[in-house]
Amino acid sequence: MASLHLVKKLETRAVSSPGGNVFGRSIRVVADLVRVSHWIKNLLLFVPPFFAGTLLTPLTLSRALPAFLSLSFIASVGYIINDLHDIVSDRMHPRKRTRPLACGLVSTPMAAVVAGLLSAGSLILAWRVSPWFPAFVLGYLAISLAYSFFLKKVFLVDIFLIASGFIVRLLAGGEAFGVEISSWLFLTMFFVSLFMAAGKRMGEIVSLREWASAHRVTLLEYSTDFLQSVVWTAAASSLLTYALYTAEGHHRLFYTVPLAAFGMFRYLFLLRRSQEGDPTELLLHDRVLFATFGLWTVLVASMMYGPLVK
């Protein structure tokens, strides 16, 4: 019944839009439900082997796809559960009200079935990666559930919990590919994660204005001045720790610090101008930021794996 209800909704919308078809819109609805675009965050898995110079080894290549899909599937489970829990408040949000659950394109039972299938697939793939990788997958899900049901309402703790999700991705990458994560790299990713989490909250306050507290209770306790101080502190700390990381063991990478600083300042500029704090959305929709990230990646890769290594 749930699937029939969804198909009827999709058929109605497909007829009302030029060139629409049920299958194409169904795929789009599922992609929106599981937030496929946010799977880009799980590329953090490859940061440890990337900086360790082992990204192209047989071990890394053989585990890359199952590790990425496993963490992506479990992340989607967290997104679905969060959307189910926040379905009422999301309908008052100018952007989130278009999500499949909030606008009624997907029913609650169907979303629960999708979440169950993704959970099973995630754990099956995780066991193929390494014996301990499932622990990181379940740990990430536990953080997501704690955030969705309890800690998103706790001032300041919610920001740190968002940041911890990125840290778990980093640690999971170290486990999946057998790489020891240095203290400076850990601190760099922690401050970058905190920087993005605070930026997301600041974007919500600016965009929602008087509706902010109706969407998220903790936004009553935050102020733009406080969040700006957190953002700038985390940004400065992340640049400092990244510079120390490159100077400690990767001397040539020291020349990528200015490019990293440019990307960070570009993000801050977009945060103030676009009133959107989601780092994934900003990265995918701003050409300058996307190009900066791409250039930084290419430059680091050439130094770690190319002719500049010798």
The pLDDT tens digits for 25-80 are 888 888 999 999 899 999 999 999 999 989 999 999 999 999 999 999 999 999 99
What is the pTM assigned to this prediction? Answer: 0.84
pLDDT mean over 201-228 = 70
Tokens of 122: 């995630």
Q: Is the pLDDT of residue 132 over 90?
A: yes
Q: Is the pLDDT of residue 209 over 90?
A: no
pLDDT band of 113, cuts 50, 70, 90: very high
Please state, in angstroms and rounded to a whole number, the distance separating the CA atoms of residues 189 and 48.
11
CB atoms closer than 10 angstroms to residue 236: 14
The DSSP call for residue 182 is P
Please state, in angstroms and rounded to a whole number, the distance separating the CA atoms of residues 304 and 249.
12
CB under 8 Å to 101, separation ≥6 — which residues?
33, 80, 83, 84, 87, 90, 108, 111
Helix (H, G, I), strand (E, B) or coil at 57: coil
Highest mean pLDDT range out of 1-5, 24-28, 160-164, 306-310? Answer: 160-164
Please state, in angstroms and rounded to a whole number, the distance separating the CA atoms of residues 164 and 183.
16
Tokens of 154: 């706790």
Tokens of 72: 């992506």
Please state, in angstroms and rounded to a whole number, the distance separating the CA atoms of residues 44 and 275.
25
Tell me the average pLDDT of the chain: 84
What percent of the chain shows pLDDT beyond 70?
Answer: 83
Please state, in angstroms and rounded to a whole number, the distance separating the CA atoms of residues 255 and 293.
15
Domain boundaries, the chain: 34-180, 182-304
Higher pLDDT, 58 or 88: 58
Judge contact between 83 and 152, C-beta under 8 A.
Answer: no
Judge contact between 85 and 148, C-beta under 8 A.
Answer: yes
pLDDT tens profile 255-275: 999 999 999 999 888 877 765
What is the pLDDT at residue 95? 75
CATH code: domain 34-180 is 1.10.357.140
pLDDT mean over 2-23 = 45
pLDDT tens profile 165-198: 999 999 999 999 999 999 999 999 999 999 988 8
Determine the length of the chain.
Answer: 310
pLDDT band of 276, cuts 50, 70, 90: low
Percentages helix, strand, coil for the chain (3-state, rounded to 5) are 85, 0, 15
